[in-house]
Amino acid sequence: MVQTALDPSALPAADPGVATEVRRRGLIRTFVEHNKSGTLGFIMFFAILLLAFIGPFFMPGDNKGDYLNVYAPPSSDHILGTDYQGKDIWFQIVHGGRSLLLVAAGAAILSTAISVVIGSLAALLGGRFDSFVLTITDVVLTVPGIILLGVLAVFVKLNSPILLVLILGLTGWPTLLLAVRSQVLSLKEREYIEAARMLDLGLPRIMFREVLPNMMSYIVINFVLGMTGAIYGQVILYFLGLVSLAGNNWGLMIQQAYVQGAHFFQDSFLYIFAPIFVITILQLSLVLISRSLEDVFNPRLRES
């Protein structure tokens, strides 16, 4: 999936005053006082993390089906009712988020690493390498992300979470790479970078010790946005039936509900709505977090 990147000009590369203020006042206090929406985003995100990673310990066992209790309404035994097989929907929600979040985080790490490393090298080396990287990036960007995911999924049988991470990570780097390249092109003109190059400190040291530390806030924000793109990518692949993973998964719940024609049954509303609602809350929390991080690290937005 093509992930959304922030405008490089909107986020200064290096501002010691921001770092000093954040250290002095504390990051948590800064969020709570000046980023109400960001605080809400973190609360929703950690609530979903607790649901996905801690919740299953409080609901052990198998979710056995009961064909005499298909599409049952909410009750004390089934908080959200049952699905087309008589399985508890709340059980599926609790057990269906872990794999989605882990794959999204892995894909975001991979795509961010590719974008940061190759984008930085392209900006620092320039010349033919830079032209080659830009050409490849432009070619990938011309293909719609959904179509690219679908084509790759047809040729690669997605029966492993690792393969799913690779597919999503290897298709989610182009936009961020261009943004990182632009940011590094701006940074390489700074005095301390010029001094490091004149001292011949070596490309690895300049990139990892001088350039990237001054872009950490920018990288973190785009990592969060990369997770949103990876979540959307997973849901699309599951909905199209291109992932052959078994088990509980919010995306798989949506796909099975559609395949089984749940939208034709009046009593199946919660079976369709529950996974969509949880995914929407998760995506909203990530968007709020990314905006709040930008407010913290961007002095112009914070002052306004």
C-alpha to C-alpha distances, 209 to 110, 141, 212, 242, nearest whole angstrom: 21, 30, 7, 42
Which pTM does this prediction carry?
0.79
DSSP string, 86-131: S-BHHHHHHHSSHHHHHHHHHHHHHHHHHHHHHHHHHHHH-HHHHH
The tens digit of pLDDT for each residue in 76-104 reads: 888 888 888 888 889 999 998 898 999 99
Among 21-30, 174-183, 203-212, name the most confident range.
174-183
For the cut 50, the answer to whether the pLDDT of residue 58 exceeds it is: yes
Signed CA dihedral, 37, 218, 136, 164: sign only: negative
Task: Decide: residue 44, CB within 10 A, 0-12 exposed, 13-18 middle, 19+ buried.
Answer: middle
DSSP code of residue 160:
S
Q: What is the pLDDT of residue 280?
A: 92
- The yes-or-no verdict on residue 174 having pLDDT over 60 is yes
Task: Calculate the average pLDDT of the chain.
Answer: 79
For the cut 70, the answer to whether the pLDDT of residue 172 exceeds it is: yes
Tokens linked to 286: 């990530």
Higher pLDDT, 17 or 73: 73
255-297 pLDDT, tens digit each: 888 887 777 777 778 888 889 999 999 999 988 888 887 766 6
Tell me the mean pLDDT in the region 160-188.
84
Q: Which of 20, 92, 121 is nearest to 252 (CA)?
A: 92
In one-letter notation, the amino acid at residue 93 is I
Q: Higher-confidence residue: 160 or 24?
A: 160
pLDDT band (50, 70, 90) for residue 300? low
Secondary structure (3-state) at 82: strand
Task: Report d(CA 288, CA 231) in Å as an integer.
Answer: 16
Higher pLDDT, residue 10 or 219: 219
Residue 147 pLDDT level (bands cut at 50, 70, 90): confident
CA dist 230 and 172 (Å) reads 8
Pick the more confident residue, 46 or 61: 46
Tens digit of each residue's pLDDT (9 = 90 or more) over 103-115: 999 999 999 999 8
Structure tokens at 298: 């961007």
